[in-house]
Every structure is written in C-alpha cells, then in structure tokens.
Structure 1
C-alpha cells in the first residue's frame, strides 16, 4: 500500500490546488483503513472519482494557456528573463517599476509562461475597480481572446469569470472577501499585489496575512509591485525578498502655472485652457484631472456645448460601463480630451497624451473623529 500511496500523491500533485488538501485527507483515511485491515472500497471509489475529475480540469486548464507575445517597446521587456528567474526561484518577489513600465499588463503573462495559473488562478489585485476592469480588457486584447475566458475580472457588483479563467483581475477588497471562505487561498497559485505603495488598509492587511500563510502554502507565489518608494520595506517584511527594478518611460515635461481664479467655475477654466492648447503648434490629446464624477460630467457638458472643432470628449470614472471606459484606448481622429479622476495618474496609462491639465485638487479619504464616518473631502494635492 505504501508504493500505491506514493503514486497517488504524485497524481494529486497534478490536480487543482483547491482539491489537493481534500484528496490528501481522503488518501490518508484510506491508508489508515488499509493498515487496520478494514474495507476501503467505498472510500477508494469516491477518491478516484474526485481525483479523475480534478485531474481532467487541470489538464484542460493547462491546454488552454494561449500563445504569449510581449510588446518590445515596453521597458519591462528588457527585464523579462530576470523576472522569470526571480519568480521561479523565490516565493516572494518585489517589482519596483514606474508608471508606464508595463508591469501591470505583462507580469501575468510572465507568470503564465512559467506554468502558473493552471493549478489555481493568478490573482491580480488593483486598488480601484476601474483599473481592474480596464487592465483585464487590455490583457485580453493582447492575447486576442474574449474577456472572461483566459482572463477575467471581479469587482463589487460585477464579474466576468469562467471555469477555465487563468488570470483574475480584482480589487484588493475582493481578495479579502475570498479569505472568508478559503483561508489559505487554495483557489490561487500566484498572487500579484499591484500598486502596493498606495498602502491602503486593505493592502496592508493583505500583506500581513500573506506573510502568515506562506509557510502553509509553499506552492503559492507572491509578486508585489510598487513605485520606486518603499520597496526596501516590502522586501524586509517578506524576509529580504529579491527586488527587481524596471525603469519607466520618461519624457521631458514643461510645467506652466495659470493664476488661480477662485471666483470662476472650474469647468470654465478648463475650457479656457483647452482652447489655449488647441492654438499651440504641437497637436496631441489632453488629459484633465478632476476630483469626482460630478465635476467630470459638468466639464464634459461644457466642452461639448462649446463645439470646438475636431474635439472628442471622453469621461473616465468608475461607474461607467466597461465599453465606455475602454474608449480611451481606441484609435481616433482629431484631438481627444480625457476627463478622469486620479485613477489615470498611476493605476492605468492612457495612450497618446501630450498635455495634462491639473486643477490641483482631489477627493481624499479622511476619517472624521467627530462624526465617526469616512469622508471624501476635496483637498489640494501636490
């Protein structure tokens, strides 16, 4: 029976991660009954049925891994081999990369290339819902597959995931909710915690929790991405995990300040600035940072009423549908004005932008000790 148990254990290793612990418990029970000369036909039948079903799903997921290509113009392409080796050799890897380096869209593909995502999903967290949905959409387009098959997403009130989904984009809150029913996160064989430098309560709790469960999940890989700040602290937290630095694409930036006009509506000031930009010799798209949905709607209505020639106005905020959010990535003619919250600052990169209008305010999450509730006041930002 000892040789048989060893063979079954090898087969269990080629099953879905979520089934390995229950199958191992079933096998131990069978081994105990055999050692006591008790019948175990019924237990063996149930064990074999579950083993076969899990093994078939594992093979189907393995066969569904698409062919992978990488855009060579992204800075992360130059560090691909270093990233592959680090992820293969270490349980935790810290990736320090600036905005625009390509780390968010390319890291899941590097993990797929290493065979991750088969025994369990590659869970990829984003701090914001809009980023989770747009990144999922972007990766599916690069893989030339429909959303919800190889790559899917889950955010509050919305999800597109199939039985053979290998990469799951989600907010960090969704991953926290998964812990309630799956304490050791067996549904995942790899976790990518993106934008960890934002240091929200959710992200900090996840990082602490993951450190505690890693000894119990030696098969789990964790990749933490951050801007180039705080990476040493992340590395120390995970017992000196290796740090891979990926450079971003930087361009010369000219900063011009306009005098504050507190007595004029912000939308009118944005309109004036857009009209001024349209008179400049160098044409390019315009990104406008606004503090919230109401400000975006008001400014969009004003820009459309102005009927400026060859100008397309595209809002970008969380409550828009995925199709409307995806408009910022579609090719277009003329000049496009993207009206966005600060999600477009770090969580996703909008292509084609030459000019940025920043009023210098944003909604900041604050806790009010007086009213005992979380508030979102509009405050000046650097």
Structure 2
C-alpha cells in the first residue's frame, strides 16, 4: 500500500517502524506546514491531501494527553549533595542569620560607652589639626612656627603644666567654635590661603602669614613623602647612637627609615657634650659625595627650624650638577663591611659575594626595580574598576609589601583599613616591619600587625598585617568587616584551612558590601581556579623573574641530605619558599620533601608526616635563585620523580587536617549547613563527621548539631576546643588560676633546652620541677617558680629554661585572663588540691586517654594504638596505670607528650556521651574481638606445643 502512494523511506534510519515514525512526527508537528516539512525532510513523497488526512486521522485517533492534576513536580535524579543531606541531616541544618556577633548585650553597651568616651577625648582629624594650630598661635604669637609638628607636640607637652587654665579654656573654646562653624571657617580659610606669598606688613604677617604658611605646609604634607633626602632641605631627626667622630641621626618625614652619620666639626672635642642619645635635632643636607653624605646642625635653628644660611642652600643647589643632585638610593650610610674578593666579573660567585657588603640594605633602587612598582598605576586602576581582583606574581615581585602602600596612596584608607593576611606568624611580623620602614612610621602606628596573643596596632593603624586565623576571628565579631575598606588574602596558593574558610565568608561579605574590595594574591599559576571561584574575577598578572635558573637533577635519589646541603649558607624550612624573601640567593638545594600536618579521621590523631612536595612547590623553590641574577637549583631527586611521582599542586590543608576548631567557628557565626557552604575544595565527609562528633562529646553541640551555650563560650577563646573545655571546666572545679597557667604554658613550645655539652646538668635541673601527677603540673611548677623569683632571666639561665617562652606564656595568660573577666568567669586557686587540676585536664582530653599495656607501652582507649611515654616526661620512669596526653609525636615510636595521671572513673563522669560503665558479667565488643593467645615455651616456637604441628614434623 505504501508503494502505491509513492512513499520512499530511508530504511534503517530509525529503529521504529514506518507507521510509528509517522505518528511520532505528527505528535511533534501539530500544524500542516510543519508536518509536511518534516515528512519531506525525511524523504517522504506525499500529496497535500494525503498529508492533511494523515494529520487529521492521527490527531483524532491519538488525542493530546490531559494535563496532570497532581501538583507534584517532576521527579529528578538526586545529586550527590542531596543524597549526603539525607544521610547526614545534622550537617545541613539551616543557617542562623540572627547570629551576627558573639558579644552579649552588656558587652556591646560597655563598648559603646567606652567609644563615646574616647571620641570625647579624641576629636576628629580636622578638629584636631585646628585645635593644635589654635593652641600654637596662642602660645607663640611672636615666634615662627617650627617645621616639624612632632617638635611642636613635644614642646606643648612640656609646657602644658605651666599653662594657665583660662588660656587653656580660651583655646578649647576657639577650637570648638571653629569645628562647629565649619562652613564659615572654610570660607575664611580659602580667602586667606590663596596667596602663597606672605604679606609685607608685620602685623598682617603675624595674623595671616602664620596661617597661610600652616595651610601651605598641610597641603604638601598630604603628598606622599619622598624616598630619600634632598640637598638643601631641613629634616627633623633623632640621635640614635653617639661615636667619637660624630653621631648617627635617623631622619623623619621620609617614606622609609633613613640613618645618616653626622660628623663633628670645628672645636667640638666631645660629641656627647653637644648631643645626647634620643635627642631631637634638626639637620640640613649639604651634599652627596660618592657614598658619603654631608649634614649640618649649625646651619639650622634648633628651636624654630629656620635655615640660618639660606645662601648656602642656593649655592649648593646651583653648583650641584645633575648627576650629583640625583638621590642615590643605594648610598650606604658608612663604609662597606666586607669587600668582595677578586673573582670573575660575570660569575655567580662574584654576584653572590658582592651582596655580602650590606645584606640588610633596603634601598629604593631595589624597590623601584620590583615589578610591582612598574605596574603601579595599572594596579590602582584594576582595583578601582573591580570589586574582586586576582593578582598573580612570584614571591619577591613586591606584591605583599607594595600593593598595600599603593592602595593607601590612592586614598582607600579614608574609608577604612587595608587588611592583609599571611599564612604564618613570622611572615606577618617581618612584612609589617618592612612596610613600616618604607612607609616612614614606627611599627604599630600607621602600619601594624596582629597575630595570636599579640596585637601591635593602634587607633592610627591604616595598614594591618595579620595571620589568616586572626581575620577569621574578627569575622566572628564583625561578619561584615565594617572597619576594612580592602581585604588582601596573600599567599592564597598555600591553601591553609583558615584561608579556605575565609574564601567562603568573604564571598558573602562582598555581596553585602559593594564598597569593599577583595584582592586574592597567589604566587603560582593556578589563577583560573581562583577566578572561577570568585565570580569570574579578572586576573592581574605581574610578570615573573627575568633571570634564568638552571635546573640540575641527580641521577639517583639522594640519601644523605646533610652532605648534599653543606654548600648552602641559609638553611630554612618551607617558610623561605613563599612567605619570606631572602636577597642574594643564587644557589638553591631542594631535597624535595616537606613536613605536613596530616589528620587521620579514623584514629582522630594529627601527625607531622614527611611527604614529597608538589610540582608547584618545586617551581617556587627554584624561583628563589632567580630573583637578582642567573642562578642554579640542585634538585635531590630525579627528573622522572618530578614528572611522574609529584602532584601538580599541593593538597589543601582543609582536606588533611582536623576541622573541629573550624566547625566550631562556623557554628558560632550561624553557619549550620556545612554541606552547602561554598568551599573552594570541600573537605572529606569523614573529617566533617569526626569533627562534629568531637564537638558533641565535648558538649559544644546538642543532639541536633546546633551550638550549645558551652560551645558558644568555647568559641570565644583562641584555643583548641579541648583546651577551651578544660579551661571552662576549671571554673566549676575551682582551679581556674592554675589552669590559666597550664594552658598558657601548653601554647608555647620548648620551655626546656638541653645544650649538648651540659645535657646531664640540664636533666638534673629539670628533675627538680618534676611532679608525681605529671607534666601539666610540672609546667605549672616551672611558671610559679619563675614568678616567685620575680620573673628573673638569670634564674631561667641557671635552670636551662627558655626565658623567651616564659615571657610569651605570660602574655598569653594575660589575654586569657582578660577573656575570662569579660565573660565574668571566676579565677579561683585550688591551693594544694591538685586532684581538681587533674579532673579539669581529663574533662578536656578524655579522648586522649591511654591504659598501660601488660606487654609494652600503653594502648589508647579509642583505637587500641600502641603508644609510649616520651623520655622527657616526668612520668617516664613511673609508668602509671591510666594517663591522658596532650598530643602524639611520631619519631621512632608513637610518643605521648605532656602526660598526666587520671582515675578511670573520671572518664565516665566528665564524658558520659563517650564512655559508660561496662557490665562486669558480659564481654564488651572490644573483648569479643580480641583473640586469646595460648601459653607456650618461650625457648621454642609459638606453635611448637601443637600436636598437629609436631605430628607433621615427624
């Protein structure tokens, strides 16, 4: 029949029959034109009448399906995350946006009152300037104003005692009236300050010239300070040290700290008769001759700062040619320390030795040679045009030290602070010190840093360096980070656990605050991943090093790394890989390994494991040799190992460490849906479950996985959750005084030291502090003895104790004491009742309980792992039955550090969710799994007693 109508089908086109295929076309094309077009497209040759009849019959015989009356949506296959949410509902509780702050209402009220008092004592910037100007004019009408405001403030403090009350009141009222009538004051200021030349009349000069001169100076002070001193200019300085031939003066008013030598002249026999250490002086720069600088004090009025010999200045400027008038940024302040020996000019040895002349020299020439300086204006424009910016540049390009200063110059500090995070404490401190020198201020003023248990900032701080953990704690108090205008996440490629959490938090913050800028810097070329995570943010690339580095591999893996690294001068951990930049490095020896903290979710133990580095880390290490010139990198592994055995990038810390502290912080910020949190790389599910279980057993979470009152209080302390629980429980047990000291001592490392030539004496001195209860009370005895000896450093030296560690523990104790006072937690001493201290330790570290094993060492109660007491412990020779430890250290064996004896009944008392009393008439699951080993003769094989074996031997 189909042949009669002339239908020519392209067989085997579809797996359906021809009739079913026509019906399917009619269902898809309900109109005549579309149905005909589809038939013609598939090779059918039908007449129009046949096509219309077919379409009518099909639509009549197969009416359209009725719409479904059910309102249920179409069932879609579940995603992996949805399946996990069904399996673990505790991990996906809805977030609590009402938890915006960790402060109580009383704390907020107290803080507001204190801020109001501070605002009353500290007027605004403009008012402060006007107040200072008003007081200065009342004090010195007939004197010329000093060029240095610092000098004026010093003199003002000295004379304030003798100032009349009425005069003070008149100055204050005048300052207040100007502050209130701001518009009127501005109009007067504009009308009087347009003329920059002082009036000729003496009376008018006293009235207007002083003010115009002040405004003129203020106008120029706002400009960026110069890098180096200029010939003929007068600078304020401070005498830092006195020599026989002169004194060293530290100049002020420059962008970076400058120390110059002021030589004695004329009839001055003793320099100490003229100046003293710490004295404020005014000096004039006369000339630059080669590597020497000529300064003068006699040409400057030390009271007013007036140039007593202006003709000499004009002559200096006129006689100085272009070459000598240029500021020489590489000019040393004195002769070189060491001269380079005679070697080939173009060799690496020559370049390396010439750096020895002044290794600490930080010149503006090296500053200007940094690649970040060349891209200064492009960087400012990129930050201005984008809210989120990804900056890629190798370590040493200047991104850490220079970008913050460029943004401060651009005026971003008027809206808030510029915060820059570092993954390490040492990096935050060293970078802040370097930037403060370049910025021209003391560390802690305009530039400061904040690390755990140490805050070196002030209300004047505008550039703040901090560890990423400190910024995370600031997010607990202020989730929107309202005091910051720009946040810079530096060294983001290291992917620490705090940095990964900040990624997710700051993504939400930038959506709420459109005025906030976020800069993410990385030293590796994984920018695409960062850009995709941060809403396809643009990438700003700082070009890499311009000097080649020769890579040399060993033919076989190196076994003795000590001998292979004897040529190196600087021996450093992986902190020199990215965080710190050491100048003058031309040779790098890379062993190819790194120590990483790895967490085992099954055993719940953190371990430091030596693991191979990644390819990205290997490139970073090689880059240390190519910053200042061509270099060489000796890799103590084969090229095949680099290519086949190393990962491309290192594993993020969030995927290999314990997340108990992180989960506690997220819960405190109201983030309960951990599965939906926007991690760049999600942590393993086992690690999240283990962290939730740990917090639940500590009492920080309830049955639904929500934060308890105890957990919220634990989140206030910058400590591990177990230490927080131990400290809080000590308040109820009446031993918080002792526990504060113990926690502080546990937060520092290396309290004792053993010199190689005096090991026996050091062990003997340490044994005097040993306590029968364990190491925790030994640390308490050390601190109390140091306190009884009035915190003496000689006492520490006599007993082989690190005085620096004890002072740091003292600072930590003060901060912990402040937190306890803020939360109204009583600080009570238990006296000689040390059992209370042992109970408090057990309440926090019950998971780290171990029982003595009859065969060898101890066995942990969690996983029956064999562990041993460390030889340095006070309990090493006592071997008690039950102990708890602070941490495990893997060396030749698994050693327990900081061990304390306990009563096993305390485990059930303080951890009922983790331990329970077993039934003596039944075998536990652990006992059932154990295999009974029969007794045998130790002089024979273990199976020698078996009859079957003996029969076989016959």
Task: Give TM-score scaled by structure 1 length.
Answer: 0.64
> Aligned partners of 1:59, 1:250: CA distance in 2, in Å?
50
2:507 is the counterpart of 1:211: yes
2:345 is the counterpart of 1:345: no
2:537 corresponds to which of 235, 238, 241: 241
Equivalent residue number for residue 294 of structure 1: none
1:210–1:86 distance in 2 versus 1, CA, 3 Å? same
**Once the two structures are superposed, what CA deviation does each residue of 1:21-51 show, in whole Å capped at 9, x if it has no partner?**
xxxxxxxxxxxxxxxxxxxxxxxxxx99998
1:202–1:355 distance in 2 versus 1, CA, 3 Å? same
Counterparts of residues 263-342 of structure 1 (less than 5 Å): 264=560, 266-271=561-566, 274=567, 286=568, 337-342=569-574
Distance apart, 1:165 and its partner CA: 0.7
Counterparts of residues 133-172 of structure 1 (less than 5 Å): 133-172=429-468
Distance apart, 1:102 and its partner CA: 1.1
> Aligned partners of 1:190, 1:130: CA distance in 2, in Å?
22
> Aligned partners of 1:59, 1:174: CA distance in 2, in Å?
33
Secondary structure at the aligned position of 1:218 is classed as: coil
* Residues 192 and 224 in structure 1, CA contact (< 8 A), matched pair in contact too: yes
* Residues 435 and 447 in structure 2, CA contact (< 8 A), matched pair in contact too: yes
2:427 corresponds to which of 101, 108, 131: 131
> Aligned partners of 1:147, 1:50: CA distance in 2, in Å?
23
**Once the two structures are superposed, what CA deviation does each residue of 1:286-331 show, in whole Å capped at 9, x if it has no partner?**
4xxxxxxxxxxxxxxxxxxxxxxxxxxxxxxxxxxxxxxxxxxxxx
* Residues 124 and 169 in structure 1, CA contact (< 8 A), matched pair in contact too: yes
Distance apart, 1:175 and its partner CA: 0.2
* Residues 405 and 439 in structure 2, CA contact (< 8 A), matched pair in contact too: no
For the pair shown, the structure with the greater C-alpha radius of gyration is 2
**Once the two structures are superposed, what CA deviation does each residue of 1:206-248 show, in whole Å capped at 9, x if it has no partner?**
1111111213222211111113423223223332222211112
2:613 is the counterpart of 1:381: yes
> Aligned partners of 1:49, 1:155: CA distance in 2, in Å?
28
Distance apart, 1:173 and its partner CA: 0.6
Equivalent residue number for residue 357 of structure 1: 589
1:182 corresponds to which of 470, 478, 486: 478
Equivalent residue number for residue 281 of structure 1: none
2:169 is the counterpart of 1:101: no
Per mean C-alpha deviation after superposition, the further-off stretch among 150-159 and 102-111 is: 150-159
Equivalent residue number for residue 124 of structure 2: 56
**Once the two structures are superposed, what CA deviation does each residue of 1:240-278 show, in whole Å capped at 9, x if it has no partner?**
22221111224222233455553x5x434433xx1xxxx
* Residues 88 and 114 in structure 1, CA contact (< 8 A), matched pair in contact too: no
Per mean C-alpha deviation after superposition, the further-off stretch among 368-377 and 151-160 is: 368-377
1:55–1:83 distance in 2 versus 1, CA, 3 Å? farther
* Residues 65 and 150 in structure 1, CA contact (< 8 A), matched pair in contact too: no
1:236–1:360 distance in 2 versus 1, CA, 3 Å? closer
**Once the two structures are superposed, what CA deviation does each residue of 1:92-123 show, in whole Å capped at 9, x if it has no partner?**
11111122211111110111011122332111
Task: Give TM-score scaled by structure 2 length.
Answer: 0.27
Equivalent residue number for residue 23 of structure 1: none
* Residues 383 and 517 in structure 2, CA contact (< 8 A), matched pair in contact too: yes
Secondary structure at the aligned position of 2:488 is classed as: strand
Secondary structure at the aligned position of 2:514 is classed as: coil
**Once the two structures are superposed, what CA deviation does each residue of 1:49-79 show, in whole Å capped at 9, x if it has no partner?**
9988887158879988963767220111221
CA RMSD of aligned residues (A): 3.0
Distance apart, 1:353 and its partner CA: 0.5
> Aligned partners of 1:58, 1:104: CA distance in 2, in Å?
31
Matched residue count: 272
* Residues 151 and 167 in structure 1, CA contact (< 8 A), matched pair in contact too: yes
2:150 is the counterpart of 1:82: no
* Residues 523 and 578 in structure 2, CA contact (< 8 A), matched pair in contact too: no
* Residues 412 and 485 in structure 2, CA contact (< 8 A), matched pair in contact too: yes
1:57–1:205 distance in 2 versus 1, CA, 3 Å? farther
> Aligned partners of 1:354, 1:77: CA distance in 2, in Å?
23
Secondary structure at the aligned position of 2:570 is classed as: strand
* Residues 173 and 202 in structure 1, CA contact (< 8 A), matched pair in contact too: yes
Distance apart, 1:144 and its partner CA: 2.9
Equivalent residue number for residue 806 of structure 2: none
Secondary structure at the aligned position of 1:109 is classed as: helix
> Aligned partners of 1:344, 1:154: CA distance in 2, in Å?
21
1:257–1:217 distance in 2 versus 1, CA, 3 Å? same
2:601 is the counterpart of 1:369: yes
1:241–1:256 distance in 2 versus 1, CA, 3 Å? closer
- Whose strand proportion is higher, 1 or 2? 1
1:365–1:228 distance in 2 versus 1, CA, 3 Å? same
2:114 is the counterpart of 1:114: no
> Aligned partners of 1:128, 1:183: CA distance in 2, in Å?
23
> Aligned partners of 1:64, 1:170: CA distance in 2, in Å?
27
> Aligned partners of 1:200, 1:58: CA distance in 2, in Å?
42
Distance apart, 1:127 and its partner CA: 1.1
1:193–1:60 distance in 2 versus 1, CA, 3 Å? farther
* Residues 96 and 245 in structure 1, CA contact (< 8 A), matched pair in contact too: yes
> Aligned partners of 1:203, 1:180: CA distance in 2, in Å?
15
Runs of 4+ in 1 over 6 A off after TM superposition: 47-55, 58-65
> Aligned partners of 2:563, 2:431: CA distance in 1, in Å?
32
